[in-house]
Amino acid sequence: MSYLIVLILAVAGLLTVMRKEAGAKAAIGVLLVTGIIGLLLDTEVLGALLLLAAAGTAFAGLPGLRQQWLTPKLFDYFKKVSPKVSATERTALDAGTVGWDGALFSGNPDWNQLLKNRAEALPAEEQAFIDHQCSVAVSMCNSWDVAVERADLPPELWEYLKKEKFFGMIIPKEYGGLGLSTKAQSLVLQKLAVNEMLMTTVGVPNSLGPGELLLKYGSEEQKQHYLPRLADGREIPCFGLTGPRAGSDATSLPDTGVVCMGEFEGKQVLGLKLNFEKRWITLAPIATVVGLAFRLFDPDHLLGEEEDRGITCALVPRDTKGMDIGRRHWPVGSPFLNGPIFGKNVFIPMDWIIGGTDMIGQGWRMLVECLSVGRCVTLPSGASGAGRYMLGTAGGFTRIRRQFNVPVADMEGVQAPLARIASKAYIAQAAVLHTANMVDNGEKPSVPSAILKYHLTEYQRQMAHDAMDVHGGKAVTKGPRNYLAIPTDATAVSITVEGANILTRSLMIFGQGAIRCHPYVLSELEARDKNDSDAFDKAFFGHAGLIFGNFARALTKGVGITSRDTPFDEAAAPYALAVSRISAGFGLCADAAMASLGSDLKKRELISARLGDVLSSLYLTSMVLKNWHEGTAVEGEKALLDYSCQTLLFNAEEALSGFFANLPSRALAAVLRVIVFPAGRQFSQPTDVLTHKIARAVSTNTALRAKLIGNTWNTWNDGEQDNPLYRYNELLKNYDRAEKIYHTVNKAYAKGKIPASALHPEQRVEAAVERQIISGEDAEFMRDYEAEVLDMLTVDDFAFDRLATDKSTVIYHRDDLKAADNIASAPGKKGSKTKRTGQNRKLPVEETAESDTTGLQPNADSEQSEEDERTAPALK
């Protein structure tokens, strides 16, 4: 019994010391005390072993002793096995700051660090811009018209964007811009994301491009000339980085600038001769000024002894001799303005280099620092805003769409995707808000930007597919009424640009974080590069203490031995404790992977991807918890919090399980699994009960639905483009009344009180009012309600030859089809008007004659839907 007591005391003491990372002296103290206790309790062998362990710990752990023998051996070995960091990798690592991502890497996150900067409400001026100017802008375009009919924004919208300085959101007011905060910029893009082309057109000039590069690195003369012109749209910018052979590996770009003398404005000046080929450049076809990245060479040593001066960035006006732009690429889904740029022997003066000659060779650093805006703000905000609108329309559609006499939103098979969409929208909103808030507070979150870019654009794709599924035939039939097909197709663009998602997940999130965010690895590498043994000793043994600390924290927290003190309420606290527990396990696994695989870890992309998935899940959960903590919860939000956190933490444990299953060292994997999951995995997929609650809340007129679709385009005024979300919201406001009438009428029909031939809802309503089953007031209400429902369910149809680009290739199959097309397209032919009438609202009148010219023939009575729901004109 004495042996057991002494052993328990020693283990408990050592675990306590390790959890706190108290250092070698504290561990020696525990071993000495328990060793002496062992001798006093007649457990001589155990006591002697503990004392010997104390001596060994002193010999290896105390700086004055270990530096004499152990540190030099470890340093020599580390030099041989540690991965080399290239100059370009070093630049990427030095870019940005480390914040909450570093806390998660440490295995012991301090929640007060995350909560110290609240995401305060926007100033009234910024909120007013989002509420008014953004609403006006998005109301001026219809996705079908923009993407299919004109492949561009309407001219009046272009003028409005310039007039209201949408292209100058990041440009300070002193240079003529709006000077919006990052949070406001994010919310602008979320609102504009209803239309993919609009969001892209506004987002790109406000992220990676001449504007941001000029702000951070440009000369004052360049700023004074360009920034006011960029802000009001007199100049339209683009930035040429990628090309045929330089995509994700931007450092390999083959475009060159050679220092030479040349003629400029009639004078011989020192400048650059550029040769380049760029592709996939957004806004290139209409750009008036082009930012270019190229490799600068000085073969004649006109600048100095060094020939290869590195990647450099310059601004080149569109009309510069030798530059060829104007043609277009055709992006999938949304044909936003994008195209190639070519240049052959393009001479530019040296002062066109962004920042002047002092910035020669600094291009890669400039790009890495600015790319984080695209990955951290533009693309994630677009994904969040698009998903928010998808949620609103999916919830509305599934509530008004009835099959088997019930709304499809009440069917469990439909509720599952609805809950998934709601959860992803909820997570995305929290992530973009609080990461943007970090930027506003001076951080440059490089690793979180990669997390948001990958996961939120993937969320966008998954939300789009789920929304398509629940809409069924409504969403797979293209036309002006289809608000999902074009955004769904366009998700592939977000997945691909600004660092392809495969690359981002496989290499960037953990690969960059393992060095940049780890508390000690970067210091160890710097000590190696400087051959500084003392610095290495401090970093390496601090690293060792971290490993022991994460071992103790993962093991003890895994069996429930942990402090319950958190800054969160009882709803969020369990998830915060789980994040801390998994963080300790993640930190231990990250060190184990780096130690066991060494430089080979770069090649083991699937291992790196799984560890990146763990870090991402922990980061996103943290953003959800911060959002909950700082916000005011509405009814039903607790279910969404539970669903979201459980999903994210399940994914984190799933990724860790995949890591254990695939780590090459099977013995190490087995040991790690026991330490990280001593009581087994603790999270499963959310329950069906949560799914039911969330699906009901987002498909009815609730406070939760209103909160989730806030700050999106949910208004609709006369003269604006049709807004399906507004119309669904209006229908949902009247749903409870309509549902009671549905129930009364269908019950009467089932009992034979209404003729069996009354197969349509409109027929049953008329029969019910005739038989005084419902009142005349209810019947009038249902006539309007059903007319609006039918219009929202209706899809477009087209002339037979409309889909053929080359009309000469059309096979009509029947003479009457060709005749019908000829009649429809005859000059001066006037079609009938169809008027959409919604509840308490007149909708825009459509001229079918205009549609006939393009072969489009809207017909509110044309849809053929499944089962008993065949559409028909409302009976008079």
> Which residue spans within 424-513 are E strands per DSSP?
none
The interaxial angle of helices 735-750 and 724-733, nearest 10 deg, is 60
Tokens at 627, concatenated: 């959002």
263 - beta bridge partners?
Answer: 268
Tokens of 736: 């409870």
- Count the Cβ atoms, other than its own, within 10 Å of residue 748: 18
Give DSSP secondary structure letters for 643-665: HHHHHHHHHHHHHHHHHHHH-S-
CA 655/CA 539 separation, integer angstroms: 29
d(CA 433, CA 443) in angstroms, rounded, equals 14
Looking at 21, 212, 443, 498, which residue is catalytic? 498
Distance in angstroms (rounded) separating the CA atoms of residues 88 and 248: 13
Q: CB of 698 within 8 A of CB of 708?
A: yes
Cα–Cα distances (Å) from 606 to 116, 597, 609, 666, 770, in that order, read 35, 13, 5, 16, 68
Lookup: tokens for 178: 């709006």
Question: What token pair was written down for 294?
Answer: 């190229």
The separation between CA 62 and the C-alpha centre of its own chain, rounded to angstroms, equals 47
Residue 435, SS3?
helix
User: Between the CA of residue 488 and those of 392, 464, 469, 492, 496, what are the distances in Å?
Assistant: 15, 5, 11, 8, 14
Q: Residue 589 has which token pair? A: 């696994």
498 is catalytic: yes
Give the C-alpha distances (Å, rounded to integers) separating 4 from 1, 49, 163.
5, 14, 79
660 Cβ contact partners less than 8 Å away, ≥ 6 residues apart: 669, 670, 672, 673, 676
Beta bridge partners of 222: none
Checking 802-809 for CB contacts under 8 A at 24+ apart, the result is 802/854, 802/855, 802/856
DSSP H helical segments within 218-338, as ranges?
220-231
Single-letter code of the amino acid located at 272: L
Cα separation of the two ends of the chain = 93
CA 755 to chain centre: 54
Task: Report the distance separating Cα 363 and Cα 240, nearest Å.
Answer: 12
Amino acid in position 855: G
Contact by Cβ (8 Å): 373, 185: no
Which residues, 6 or more positions from 516, have their beta carbon under 8 angstroms from its beta carbon? 93, 96, 98, 446, 447, 522
For the chain, how long is the longest CA-to-CA vector?
111
CB 61 within 8 A of CB 28: yes
| Look-up of token digits 């499809």 | 408
Joined tokens for residue 718: 């006369």
Task: Answer for the pair 275, 346: CB distance below 8 angstroms, yes or no.
Answer: yes
Beta carbons within 8 Å of 212's beta carbon, 6+ residues apart: 170, 206, 370, 373
Position of tokens 């949560």? 690
What are the backbone angles phi and psi of residue 222, rounded to the nearest 5°? -65, -40
Taking alpha carbons only, the member of 147, 151, 130, 143 closest to residue 194 is 143
State the Cα–Cα distance between residues 766 and 788, nearest whole angstrom. 17
- Catalytic residue numbers, as ranges: 498
